[in-house]
Amino acid sequence: MKIADVRKRAFAMPLTSPAFPPGPYRFVDREYLIITYRTDRAALEAVVPEPLTFDDPIVKYEFIRMPNSTGFGDYTESGQVIPVSFNGKKGGYTLAMFLNDGPPIYGGRELWGFPKKYAQPSLSADKDTLIGTLDYGPLRVATGTMGFKHKALDLKEVAASLAVPNYLLKIIPHVDGTARILELVDYRLEDVTVKGAWSGPAALDLRPHALAPVADLPVREILSATHILADLTLGLGKVVYDYLKPGKETAS
């Protein structure tokens, strides 16, 4: 293969059979259980990277069911998102995500910088309860429950909440183990159609684990819970801060 051919074909690894296809990436019937809770300020200060800031020590714990996604297939995801601000714009910083499918792990990490690791999350309804779980290996590290569709929410307000900036810390190492790419990435959810959204009573249990440290942001108070069903496109995003070349980033 000629050098020009390598440059032309290169999109993702492996060169001759990429682990995921080029986008756009459309999700149909994406289902969320989002439990918002208050945690310890010191715990958040230890994990939120500058130049992101936060006002209140709030965390959104998410269980997301994705049965129909372009190129990535059928999978489930779970993790923590922290409400933050960047240059005065409010958004969410994804701290950690755990999922059970290879292509969205590879694509999520390589394209956007999603902090994804392999685990076994689930989201389903059992009679009157919506149940989300996360298992890392044989151990249960997170359990979220919510009353099923207790109160319908305003769909326009929910759609607006999904349209806020989302921030990721993208890290790609050099061959010597140092950071070759170290960037703050801003991505958005696009062409969002909210099919339904509900609130209800909720509970969240987080258990300590060395490699899935969701319990490092302990639950002090449950603030709300939301169940959402939507179609959307995952935008590719842009770099808004380069830790290795400060001042070269784009405006958010």
Does residue 245 lie in a domain region? no
Establish if 13 belongs to a structural domain.
no
Q: State which residues form the domain around 192.
A: 26-167+188-235
Q: What is the CATH number for 145?
A: 2.40.400.10
Give pLDDT tens digits for 92-115. 999 999 999 999 999 999 999 999
94 falls within a domain? yes
Active site residue 116: yes
Is 154 inside a domain boundary? yes
Q: How many domains does the chain have?
A: 1
Which residues lie below 8 Å from residue 184, measured CB to CB, with a gap of 6+?
49, 51, 52, 86, 167, 168, 169, 170, 239, 240, 241, 242, 243, 249
Catalytic residue, candidates 116, 127, 151, 195: 116
Q: Is residue 136 part of a domain?
A: yes
Nearest to residue 122, comparing CAs of 63, 81, 203, 205? 63
How many other CB atoms are there within 10 angstroms of residue 39's CB atom? 21
Q: What does residue 9 show for φ and ψ, rounded to 5 degrees? A: -85, -25
Q: Is residue 174 part of a domain?
A: no
Q: In angstroms, rounded to a whole number, what is the distance separating the alpha carbons of residues 111 and 21?
A: 11
Report if residue 115 sits inside a domain. yes
Instruction: Going residue by residue through the chain, which has 252 residues, state the pLDDT in tens, using 9 for 90 and above.
Output: 999 999 999 999 999 999 999 999 999 999 999 999 999 999 999 999 999 999 999 999 999 999 999 999 999 999 999 999 999 999 999 999 999 999 999 999 999 999 999 999 999 999 999 999 999 999 999 999 999 999 999 999 999 999 999 999 999 999 999 999 999 999 999 999 999 999 999 999 999 999 999 999 999 999 999 999 999 999 999 999 999 997 765 555
